[in-house]
Amino acid sequence: MSALTIAVERWNELSAEQQSARLARPEQSRSAQLKQSVSDILAQVREGGDDAVLKLTRQFDDANASQLLMTAQQRQALIAALTPKVKAAIDTAYATIRRFHQQQRPRDLKVETAPGVVCESRYVALQSVGLYIPGGTATLPSTALMLGVPAQIAGCQRKVLVTPPAKDGSIPAAIAYVAELCEIDDILLCGGAQAIAALAYGTESVEPVDKIFGPGNAFVTEAKQQVSQDQSGVAIDMPAGPSELLVIADDSASPAFVAADLLSQAEHGADSQVILLTPSESLAAQVREQLLQQCAQLSRQHIAAQALTNSRLLVTDSLQQALTLSERYAPEHLSLQFNDAREALPQLTRAGSVFVGHYTPESGGDYATGTNHVLPTYGYARNYSSLGLTDFYRRYTVQEASREGLQGLADAITTLAELEGLDAHARAVTIRTEVNS
Ligand SMILES: NC(=O)c1ccc[n+]([C@@H]2O[C@H](COP(=O)([O-])OP(=O)(O)OC[C@H]3O[C@@H](n4cnc5c(N)ncnc54)[C@H](O)[C@@H]3O)[C@@H](O)[C@H]2O)c1
Ligand SMILES: N[C@H](CO)Cc1c[nH]c[nH+]1
Ligand SMILES: [Zn+2]
């Protein structure tokens, strides 16, 4: 693995400009060209429906695409071919993810805010949801679980899964099995921006959905952003782009464990980014050595090696400085490989998901600890939440006032309405309170 280009650098010896560059994401592909090609694809699907989606699938996925909607027979044939070992692994992950998400059920509440005035906050499941399962460089049945399980628990009436087909037009049997477990209504054989367009605008084969969930590459992420800003009326979950992992470790960490974790996210894509922050120069050097050795053994070593060119091994002056830098970077995944790491949690509030201690690899959360692996990237962990059950609901409010209740608030309402020069607002109150009973 001679191509591995990742240096150990001391944070305090970098200029302010270099420091910013080290914590910058790889070229965010929201280039004008990307925006334009995505907007062209969206327009083509709006105009041409199923035919346009199939044509784009042939063009971008080089797939034998002649139908958009998978039939029930095709789904069953795939499931029948699945090995018991894979089914058992999916069943285990389904159970842990379900257990964790079931406890997140939101609670309706009812409060008497003033005598005779009751306010309620209620949750209702979204009616129809679109679930995007990436399939460009790797097929991700685990993402189908992360989206399908909460949609099923919430009770969304219609669940549509989309994923890019392989060259022969099929999808992985494991995705069909997850779809069965999660009671997915329809599977559409398409990916990329064209799949997002089909979900947002509808085609002959699919009605538009209310909200689109799921991670994806730059085309998918850009398409989600564009459809959420146009007239489609569709909502999206979050910007969940290329994978990121930031590890904070000290001399108590195993260099082999740290390197294995960094590579687990580097292998996702050339645009993934992984970062080690450590006060130990010796650990940084040993992790670099391990990266070199372990990367050479991976089937996706070329992808991982490319991602490592966007990645950093940074030596800080203390563990505390490493924690501060993590807050500045706001990683998708944050791994804490030092003793008593739990004690640092209150200082670490800007990460999509945190992995505490030497025996909690990031890949555990990707598949089966029970947490959701759909997480904000690009630094959005600063202000976006990790995906959870409540994202599959809408919250709305209800209020009811008795005559006496309205009487009690009448002065406040009419005074404020007059202050804003909105007479009709005030009148809607006085017309009720000034009537003789
Ligand atoms: N943040 C998260 O929670 C999370 C979770 C899982 C995966 N991921 C990330 O999701 C990403 C998945 O990316 P992927 O590429 O493997 O799969 P993908 O399904 O997101 O993208 C594949 C699609 O991209 C489209 N495409 C490819 N080249 C194109 C071009 N030149 N023009 C127009 N469209 C084009 C094709 O239609 C293809 O179907 C990875 O970066 C991975 O790290 C993130
Ligand atoms: N690490 C990815 C989220 O960034 C999720 C995933 C799916 N399969 C393996 N990993
Ligand atoms: Zn992963």
Each residue's pLDDT tens digit, 243-257: 999 999 999 999 999
| Ligand 1 centroid from CA 422, angstroms | 51
Ligand 1 and 377: CB distance under 6 A: yes
Report how far residue 436's alpha carbon sits from residue 140's, in angstroms, rounded to the nearest whole number.
68
Residue 57 has pLDDT above 50, yes or no: yes
**Is 358 an annotated catalytic residue?**
no
Report whether residue 61 contacts ligand 1, using a CB cutoff of 6 Å. Answer: yes
Question: Which residue's CA lies nearest to atom 9 of ligand 2?
Answer: 366
The whole-number average pLDDT for the span 3-30 is: 88
Instruction: Specify whether the CB–CB gap between 333 and 362 falls below 8 A.
Output: yes
CA of 366 from ligand 3 middle (Å) equals 5
Q: For residue 111, what pLDDT is reported?
A: 98
- The residue from 332, 362, 373, 404 that is catalytic is 332
More confident residue, 239 or 15: 15
Dist. CA 248–CA 211, nearest whole Å: 35
268 labelled as ligand-binding?
Answer: yes
Asked if the model's pLDDT at residue 30 lies above 60, the reply is no
Answer for the pair 368, 92: CB distance below 8 angstroms, yes or no.
yes
Pocket test for ligand 1, best of 31, 55, 59, 219 (most atoms within 8 A of CB): 219
In 3D space, the residue among 296, 295, 255, 249 whose CA is nearest the CA of residue 272 turns out to be 295
265 is in an annotated binding site: yes
Average pLDDT over residues 282-305: 97
What value does the mean pLDDT take over residues 349-367?
98
Q: How far is the CA of 435 from the centre of ligand 3 (A)?
A: 66
Which residue has the least CA distance to atom 1 on ligand 2?
366
Q: What tokens appear for 334 in the block? A: 């944050």
Ligand nearest to the CA of 269: 1
Judged against a pLDDT cut of 60, whether residue 437 lies above it is answered with no
2: pLDDT strictly greater than 60: no
Q: Which two tokens stand for residue 126?
A: 């979204």
Active site residue 17: no
User: Could you give the percent of the chain with pLDDT greater than 90?
Assistant: 93
Task: Provide mean pLDDT across the span 369-390.
Answer: 97
358 is in an annotated binding site: no
Whether the predicted pLDDT of 436 surpasses 90:
no
Residue limits of CATH 3.40.50.1980 in the chain = 8-26+242-370, 32-240
Between CA 198 and CA 208 the distance in angstroms is 7
Mean pLDDT of the chain: 96
Return the pLDDT at 141: 97
pLDDT tens sequence across 326-335: 999 999 999 9
Please list all protein residues whose beta carbon sits less than 5 angstroms from ligand 3, which is an ion.
366
As a whole number of angstroms, the distance between CA 332 and CA 381 comes to: 6
CA pair distance 224, 131, nearest whole angstrom: 12
**Regarding beta strands 393-401 and 117-125, do their DSSP bridges make them parallel or antiparallel, or are they unpaired?**
antiparallel
Give domain 8-26+242-370's CATH number out of 3.40.50.150, 3.40.50.300, 3.40.50.1980, 3.50.50.60: 3.40.50.1980
pLDDT at 26: 86
Q: Which one, of 56, 36, 34, 35, lies nearest residue 44 by Cα? A: 56
Whether the per-residue pLDDT at 56 is higher than 60: the answer is yes
Alpha carbon distances (Å) from 388 to 371, 376, 397: 8, 12, 21
The best mutation among 217, 243, 303 to test binding of ligand 1, ranked by most ligand atoms within 8 Å of the C-beta, falls on 217
Is the model's pLDDT at 28 over the cut of 70?
no
- 32-240 belongs to CATH 3.40.50.1980: yes
**What is the position in ligand 1's atom list of the atom closest to the CA of 241?**
1
Residue-wise pLDDT for 72-120, tens only, equals: 999 999 999 999 999 999 999 999 999 999 999 999 999 999 999 999 9
Q: Encode burial over 396-411: b for 16+ CB neighbours within 10 A, e otherwise.
A: eeeeebeeebbebbbe
